[in-house]
Amino acid sequence: MASRLFTPVSIGPIALTNRVTIAAMCQYSAVEGTMTDWHMQHLANLALSGASMMLIEATGVVPEGRITLWCTGLYSDENETAMKRVVDFVRTVSPIRIGLQLNHAGRKASAHRPWEGRGALGSGEGAWTTVAPSAVPLAPGWPTPAALDRSGMAEIRAAYIAAARRAARVGVDFLEMHSTHGYLLSEFLSPLSNRRDDAYGGSLENRMRFPLEVFDAVRAAWPAARPMSVRISAVDWFPGGHGPSDAVEVARAFRAHGCDAMDVSAGQTVEDQRPVYGRLFQTPFADRIRHDVGIATMAVGNISSYTDVNTILAAGRADLCLLARAHLWDPYWTRHAAYELGWPLRWPGQYATLDRYRPRFI
């Protein structure tokens, strides 16, 4: 009998062979939003992991929507051509499903790469003016973003549509709308960053309005035969912020608008957040949304062992488990899980000798 990790599942109209997905991981290695050979080796390497699907990193729908100068984008022909080259190559080495995470970084844009220092870029470092629902800076030392007017919101919605159409031409199987971690769409959802007094601020219903408008526009532009998910922050980890009960209502609204799955994360809306870390610390939020809303959920956050994944799945707490850093540490994580759990997951032909390899230690 297969462990839960290796049971198949369908998300919308696509079938996945197991319950492990490689979460989107920013590589900060693009040039003007265009993927480079780094992305080729990074994604091709992960494609051999044995996971059923992987998500391409948060990808800006406009240049100003990138988190950093070095983040991928999908707003130009050059971006599209390079991404298609990478995706086409990955298809030659693995049957893994490929998803793409679309993003606008909002007031968290124009930032340093993590290994080059925290915080916003300076005026001599290529910084640009950021935008947000309200003119509220992320934290002391960060610039005050420009509050979006209706015209600016319409332009961003149109950029999402254009990026979705490019993603369809690139040929990815799955599209995820990034609405978490304090980026633009989650800035609309959170009362900590959304101080508007028009139809897009105030009540949760109003704060959801723009993210739902963007989702509807993307869903209409994205092929009906390919599923979509939304990544949300279930809690802001700060007094007066977005909370778990709000997340349930947000998930319920997205489901009503045709969302196929919710990728449930948490926090990073404000820098002085007060998270409660621990093993599987975000899984309870995915669990609650799955049962209260009746939508497929993806659990993420401090999931590292094969037992972690099997426990989450067997208990019905989520439909998929997303692992990021675990796959950087061990790019063959899912194949090693198969070995340990006695599941016959075959290696590609070039590595076929490993099908008969029985190491004492892995």
Alpha helices in 33-121 (DSSP H): 37-47, 77-93
**What burial letters (b/e) apply to 260-281, b meaning 16+ CB within 10 Å?**
bbbbbbbbbbbeebeeeeeebe
What percent of the residues of the chain are helix, what percent strand, and what percent coil, each to the nearest 5?
40, 15, 45
Residue among 75, 160, 183, 200 flagged as catalytic? 183
Find the helix or strand (DSSP H, E) in which 219 lies. helix 204-221
Q: Is residue 79 within 8 Å of 46, Cβ to Cβ?
A: no
Q: Is residue 52 within 8 Å of 92, Cβ to Cβ?
A: no
First CA to last CA distance, the chain: 23
User: Is 28 known to be catalytic?
Assistant: no
Q: Count of CB atoms within 10 A of residue 224's CB?
A: 10
Alpha helices in the chain (DSSP H): 37-47, 77-93, 150-170, 184-189, 204-221, 244-256, 283-293, 306-314, 325-329, 333-341
Q: How many Å apart are CA 354 and CA 335, to the nearest integer? A: 11
Q: Is residue 29 within 8 Å of 23, Cβ to Cβ?
A: no
Q: How would DSSP label each residue in 314-350?
A: HTTS-SEEEESHHHHH-TTHHHHHHHHHT---PPPGG
Residues catalogued as catalytic: 183
